[in-house]
């Protein structure tokens, strides 16, 4: 069994960082030249100055809802269904051809797939999960419109494996194929793998699957241990329809290792500002994929960077894994309040280090309090600052609320900018 997919996984962190930063200017220039959306979003940006993480952080974050809005507007105009983000397409689009497939995700959002082998970069995750060249893999992700199954299949083929395209549903038919063909590995959601195991037990069958790469939903340690009790070693990976593989679990079981050719940032929700290592924030990625050249794409997922390298020998950055959603937009007294509005309040008060808007009360009796940590050392008039913060809250959100100064370091490190603590019972 190969220990790693290739030598990129074990190069020194300094070597990797130098390679990623050296690739950034050409990637930015390619996005500006071959993507109408980035030609507009990055207008006036000199690609040659984007050679560091600090420079990258000055560019705008494009979030999924903005990508959807641009696609919808473009489609209403009878133009590019990708909203100008893709650099490839097919005959009839005002772009070069080259798309192998086009997928539809909820929204709907459309994503292209290019011609490259291991296009979604999932083979690394399969090697880390113990998959070996030549194995038979049962793939139960959906093959219908969405890219999940193809993300796994492309990695399996790059590794030299054979795939059963099981798809979703038809559990009895899938079990029959597994019984007849005897695959040793599984790719799919953890919940469907559990269904297969339970159905096999009920039918008196011995499931041949001994290893699994799961994604698409949470796989807590309790479920992982349950699989282990049934003879299956399961690992997780984190991927999105837009970016492909972002990170994957290794036998060390210590977080998820970032995939190669991905530049990761963790930013404060509602902003594009990177947070300190270890602080929970939104996962933002720049993917060095010329076909779909995403630059600072906000996934909407929360995570945090773990310190140090992975004991498996892989040297890339590690993250904790999926920790919730960054879009904490909530409705207060009939009006939506967004994390970006909380960020705007903080921006207007430089003495504020961190803030959390807590919504309490019962139905039709909403109350909001802005809990604020101040930069240290700070010496000032606390009462005056509270009044100023409350004025800013009213100006930005059009709602009245209270500001509360809290002790430095007391706000939870969970990535929440808005906490909805209302009672609905």
- Judged against a pLDDT cut of 60, whether residue 424 lies above it is answered with no
Backbone phi and psi for residue 142, each to the nearest 5 degrees, phi listed first: -70, 135
In a domain, 311, yes or no: no
Which run of H or of E encompasses 36? Answer: helix 36-41
- Where in the sequence is the domain holding 343, given as residue range(s)? 330-420
In a domain, 379, yes or no: yes
Conformational region of residue 409, where left means phi above 0, alpha means psi within -120 to 50, and beta covers everything else: left
CB of 281 within 8 A of CB of 273?
Answer: no
pLDDT-derived band at 169, boundaries 50, 70, 90: confident
Q: What is the pLDDT of residue 355?
A: 95
Taking the C-alpha atoms of residue 291 and residue 22, their distance in angstroms, rounded to an integer, is 19
310-344 burial, b for 16+ CB within 10 Å, e for fewer? bebebbbbbbbbbbeebbbebebbeeebbbebbbb
In a domain, 176, yes or no: no
Taking the C-alpha atoms of residue 257 and residue 248, their distance in angstroms, rounded to an integer, is 5
Beta bridge partners of residue 137, listed in sequence order: 163, 185
Taking the C-alpha atoms of residue 238 and residue 249, their distance in angstroms, rounded to an integer, is 9
In a domain, 412, yes or no: yes
> How many structural domains comprise the chain?
1
Q: What is the pLDDT of residues 237-272, one digit of tens each?
A: 999 999 999 999 999 999 999 999 999 999 999 899
Taking the C-alpha atoms of residue 340 and residue 331, their distance in angstroms, rounded to an integer, is 14
Beta bridge partners of residue 358, listed in sequence order: 369, 419
In a domain, 369, yes or no: yes
Q: What is the pLDDT of residues 26-43, one digit of tens each?
A: 999 999 999 999 999 999
Taking the C-alpha atoms of residue 203 and residue 320, their distance in angstroms, rounded to an integer, is 38
Average model confidence (pLDDT) across the chain: 94
In a domain, 359, yes or no: yes
In a domain, 20, yes or no: no
Q: What separation in angstroms does the CA of 300 have from each of 62, 97, 162, 281?
A: 10, 30, 33, 9
3-state SS, residue 206: coil
In a domain, 285, yes or no: no
Question: At CA 211, angle to CA 250 and CA 253, rounded to 5?
Answer: 20
């Amino acid at each position: 069994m190969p220990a790693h997919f290739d030598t990129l996984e074990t190069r020194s962190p300094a070597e990797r960082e130098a390679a990623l930063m050296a690739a950034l200017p050409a990637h930015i220039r390619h996005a500006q030249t071959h993507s109408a959306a980035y030609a507009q979003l990055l207008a006036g940006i000199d690609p040659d100055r984007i050679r560091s993480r600090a420079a990258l952080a000055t560019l705008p974050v494009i979030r999924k809802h903005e990508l959807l809005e641009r696609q919808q507007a473009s489609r209403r105009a009878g133009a590019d269904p990708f909203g100008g983000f893709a650099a490839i397409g097919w005959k009839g689009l005002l772009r070069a051809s080259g798309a192998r497939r086009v997928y539809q995700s909820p929204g709907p959002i459309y994503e292209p797939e290019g011609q490259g082998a291991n296009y979604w970069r999932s083979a690394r995750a399969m090697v880390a999960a113990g998959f070996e060249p030549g194995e038979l893999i049962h793939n139960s992700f959906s093959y219908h419109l969405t890219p999940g199954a193809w993300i796994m299949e492309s990695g399996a083929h790059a590794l030299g494996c054979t795939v059963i395209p099981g798809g979703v549903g038809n559990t009895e038919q899938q079990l029959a194929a597994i019984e007849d063909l005897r695959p040793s590995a599984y790719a799919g959601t953890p919940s469907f793998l559990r269904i297969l195991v339970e159905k096999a037990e009920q039918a008196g069958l011995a499931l041949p699957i001994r290893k699994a790469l799961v994604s698409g939903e949470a796989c807590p340690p309790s479920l992982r241990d349950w699989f282990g009790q049934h003879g299956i070693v399961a690992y997780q990976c984190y991927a999105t329809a837009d970016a492909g593989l972002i990170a994957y679990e290794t036998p060390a079981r210590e977080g998820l290792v970032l995939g190669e050719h991905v530049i990761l940032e963790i930013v404060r929700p509602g902003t594009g500002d990177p947070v300190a290592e270890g602080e929970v924030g939104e996962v933002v990625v720049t993917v060095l994929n010329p076909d779909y050249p995403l630059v600072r794409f906000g996934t909407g997922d929360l995570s945090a960077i773990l310190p140090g390298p992975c004991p498996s020998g892989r040297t890339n950055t590690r993250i904790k894994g999926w920790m919730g959603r960054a879009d904490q937009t909530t409705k207060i007294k009939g009006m939506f309040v967004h994390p970006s509005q909380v960020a705007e309040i903080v921006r207007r008060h430089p003495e504020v280090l961190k803030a959390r808007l807590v919504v309490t009360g019962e139905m039709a009796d909403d109350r909001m309090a802005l809990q604020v940590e101040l930069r240290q050392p700070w010496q000032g008039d606390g009462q005056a600052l509270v009044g100023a913060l409350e004025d800013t809250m009213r100006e930005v959100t059009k709602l009245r609320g209270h500001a509360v100064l809290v002790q430095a370091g007391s706000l939870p490190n969970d990535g929440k900018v808005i906490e909805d603590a209302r009672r609905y019972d």
